A = this chain, B = another copy of it.
C-alpha cells in the first residue's frame, strides 16, 4: 500500500472496489423485483431456480443457475420463496453452511405457524446465519420506485455480522434498516405487515360504541318523542341534526379520555409514593394510544364544524327562520334584541372556534414530520399545556351552549337529559381533578416523585 492510495483509504478505507455478489433463490415477483433493484444499486445478482431457463421477466444482467450453483457464488442468499417450499433447502444444507440466509417471507394471517418463518428456516439449515428482512417492502414498490409507504426495513437475526451485511444492502437500496435484535423478533416482524392500524383499534371501536349509544339516545329524544307526543315527523334529523349532536359529544368525551389516564397516573403515583412501580396494564395501554384517541376526537370535531357551518343552507333551517318571520309579520310585532342572548350565542361560538383552532394545531403537531422537528420541551408544551387549554375551551363551549337551558326541567324528555349534558361528565371530572392536582400541596410531592424521589425507598443507588 503506497503513500498515494493511503490518502484515499483514509477517507473510505473499507469500501470494497466492487460490491459482492448476492444470490436470490426464487424467480417470483418479489425475487425478480429485489434482484432488479439490487442490480441498479451495483450488486452482481445471481438467481437460483428450479429451471435455469431465463425468462424475459428476469433482469438480463442476472445469471440464472441451479440452486446449488447459485448458492456457491455468493455469501448472502435471499430466500424469496414461500415457507411451504422451504424443505428443498434441506439437501443444500452443506452448501449453505456459513452463508447468510435472508428470510423475506410473509404469512397470510398473524401467528399462522407456531414459530416464525425465519426461525423455521434456521431450524432447517442449522449451519446458516438466518436474518429476517425486507418483508415489509412490496414487490410493486420496488419495481415502480414509488416508495410511498414505508421505507423502513425491519431486520433481525442472531449473528451481528450477518445482520450488518444485510443492513448495508438495505441502505444501498435506499431503504432504512431498523435493527430489531435477535431472531426472536422475527415473529413480530412477520406479523407487522399483516397489521391494520393496531394502535387505532381501541380508539375507533370506542368512538363507534359512543356514536351508536348517542345515536339511539338522540333518536329517542329528538325523533320518537316528538312523533309520539306531537305527531311530528322529524325523521330527516337523522341526516344532519343528530350527527351534529353526536359528533361534538363524542369529540369532547374522547378528548377528555386523552387526559384522563395522565390524571389517573398522577393519583396512583401520589398514592404509591414512587414512580418505580408499574402501572396497571390497562393504564399503560391507554397511555400509549392517547395520540390516536386525540386524532379520532379531532376527526369528530372536524365533522361537527362542517355540520354546523352547513346549517344556514339547510332547507329546514331556512324554512323555520322564514316561518318565524312570517308569523311575526302577520302579528305585526317585532322581537326586541336580547343582549344576553347576543352574548351567549357569540361567546359559545367564539369558544368553539378557538377550541377547534387549538385542536387543529395539536393535530398538526402530531404529524410525524412536525413532531420530529421539535424538542421534548416544545412537544410537551404543545401536547400538555395547549392540550389542556383545548379541553377547557371545548368544555366551556359546551357549557355556554347549554346556557339557560342547563338543567331546566323542560329539557328533560322521558326523564332523559339533553345529550350534551352527558358529554360534560368526563371532561368536568378531568378538569376538576387536574385543578386539584395543581395545588402546591399535591404538585410538589408529585414533582419530586417524578424526579425519582420515593416515599418508602426499596433500593438505594
Contacts and interface: CB of A to CB of B under 8 A. Distances in A.
Contacts of A373: 150, 368
A312 interface: yes
A195 B376 CA distance: 9
Contacts of A374: 149-150, 197
A344 to B, nearest CB: 8
Interface in A309-329: 309-316, 318-319, 321-329
Given A357-B303, A461-B51, A194 B377 contact: yes
B179 A15 contact: no
A319 B336 CA distance: 9
A452 B55 CA distance: 14
B334 A315 contact: no
A40 interface: yes
A319 B299 contact: no
A460 B51 contact: yes
A379 B149 contact: yes
A196 B276 contact: no
A147 B414 CA distance: 50
Nearest to A357: B303
Contacts of A196: 377-378, 381
Interface in A1-45: 4, 7-8, 10-20, 27-29, 40-42
Nearest to A16: B10
Nearest to A284: B144
Interface residues of A, number: 137
Interface stretch (A118-126, A160-168, A416-424, A428-436): A160-168
A263 interface: no
A332 interface: yes
Contacts of A4: 98
Contacts of A193: 375-377
Contacts of A10: 16, 18, 20
Number of copies: 3
A274 to B, nearest CB: 11
A356 interface: yes
Given A160-B42, A372-B149, A461-B51, A299 B357 contact: yes
Contacts of A334: 323, 326-327
A376 B149 contact: yes
Nearest to A42: B160
Interface string A363-399: 0001111111111111101000000000000000000
B353 A310 contact: yes
Nearest to A31: B461
Nearest to A240: B346
A406 interface: no
Contact of A13 (B16, B324, B337): B16
A438 interface: no
Contacts of A307: 350, 353
A411 interface: no
Interface in A248-275: none
B325 A345 contact: no
Contact of A350 (B174, B243, B349, B379): B243
A236 to B, nearest CB: 4
Contact of A146 (B240, B288, B325): B288
Nearest to A367: B369
Given A28-B461, A372-B149, A375-B192, A339 B144 contact: no
27 contacts: A11-B20, A11-B169, A12-B161, A12-B168, A16-B161, A53-B459, A144-B288, A148-B366, A149-B371, A149-B379, A150-B376, A192-B375, A193-B377, A195-B375, A196-B381, A239-B343, A240-B346, A308-B310, A309-B310, A315-B338, A315-B341, A316-B337, A316-B346, A321-B322, A326-B334, A327-B334, A329-B329
Given A149-B378, A150-B374, A323-B334, 12 more contacts: A17-B161, A149-B372, A195-B377, A239-B350, A241-B346, A306-B353, A308-B310, A309-B310, A318-B321, A322-B328, A368-B373, A369-B370
